[in-house]
Amino acid sequence: MIYLIVGLLITFACYVLFLVSDKQRPKTQKSCWAKCAEHYQICRYLAFGVLAVALILLIQFTGRGVGSVSLFVFATPILFTLILGINDLKPKKTAQSK
């Protein structure tokens, strides 16, 4: 159960950090997350705080050494999934020579 909670916390924090990134902020202002774009600095601190809470939960559950490493083990596939799901991945158009 603790791993599910930590996974959700990491997903939420990474998604908020994506929304308030410099490239994404103009798009975020046009969406329902406009308040998040207005107060982007507060949202960044909130997201890093959520990551700290996830780290503390993992450390309490598994110990210091394993807990800090397991945060990165959890975050890697979550970030990869968010990158594939959110970004508009299209192949580059190259000029074909004849």
Question: Using CA atoms, how far apart are residues 51 and 57, in angstroms rounded to an integer?
Answer: 10
Structural domain includes residue 97: no
Structural domain range at position 20:
2-86
Structural domain includes residue 74: yes
pLDDT in tens, 34-90: 888 788 889 999 999 999 999 999 899 888 888 888 888 888 888 888 888 887 777
Structural domain includes residue 39: yes
Structural domain includes residue 94: no
Structural domain includes residue 93: no
Structural domain includes residue 66: yes
CA distances from 16 to 31, 56, 74, 88, 97 (A): 13, 19, 17, 18, 43
Structural domain includes residue 91: no
Number of domains in the chain: 1
Contact assessment for residue 13 and residue 50, using Cβ atoms and an 8 Å cutoff:
yes
Structure tokens at 53: 């809470």
Name the band, by pLDDT with cuts 50, 70 and 90, for residue 97.
low
Q: Which residues of 49-70 are buried (b: 16+ CB within 10 A; e: fewer)?
A: ebbeebbebbbeeeeeeebeeb
Using only C-alpha atoms, what is the Rg of the chain?
A: 17
